[in-house]
Amino acid sequence: MPRISPLALMALLGGLLMAASHPVILLYAPLEEQMGIIQKIFYLHLPLAWWGLFSFFLVFIASLLFLIRRDYFWDTLAEAGAEAGLVLAALTLVTGMIWARVSWNTWWTWDPRLSTTLILSFIYAGYMLTRGLDFSRERRALISAALGIVAFLDVPLVFFSAKLWPQTMHPQVVTGPKAGGLEPEMKLTLFFCLAAFGVFWAALLILRCRLGLAANRLEGLRARLALKENTPKEQDHG
Can you tell me the distance from the alpha carbon of 211 to that of 213, in angstroms, rounded to the nearest whole number? 5
Nearer of residues 22 and 140 to another protein, judged by Cβ:
140
Among 16, 107, 138, 168, binds another protein (CB under 8 A): 138
Q: Is residue 223 a contact residue for another protein (CB under 8 A)? A: yes
| Candidate segments 3-11, 15-23, 140-148, 170-178, binder of another protein by CB under 8 A | 140-148
Count of positions on this chain that bind another protein (CB under 8 A): 47
Contacts of 70 (CB under 8 A, 6+ apart): none
Per rule CB under 8 A, is residue 226 in the interface with another protein? yes
CB of 69 to another protein, least distance (A): 12
**Strand, helix or coil for residue 145:** helix
**N residues, the chain:** 238
Encoded one letter per residue, x for contact with another protein by CB under 8 A and - for no contact, window 106-135 reads -------------x--xx-xxx-xx--xxx
Neighbours of 143 (CB within 10 A): 15
Site for another protein in 147-186 (CB under 8 A): 147, 149-151, 153-154, 157-158, 160-162, 164-166
- The residues in 32-71 that bind another protein, with binding defined as CB under 8 A, are 67
Q: Give dist(CA 105, CA 101) in Å, integer.
A: 4
Do residues 91 and 48 touch, judged by C-beta distance below 8 A?
yes
Closest to 63 measured CA to CA, from 143, 8, 145: 145
Q: Does 205 bind another protein (CB under 8 A)?
A: no
> 122 near 33, Cβ under 8 Å?
no
Q: Residue 54 and residue 93: Cα distance in Å, rounded?
A: 16
Binding site for another protein (CB under 8 A): 67, 119, 122-123, 125-127, 129-130, 133-139, 142-143, 145-147, 149-151, 153-154, 157-158, 160-162, 164-166, 216-217, 219-224, 226-227, 231, 234, 238
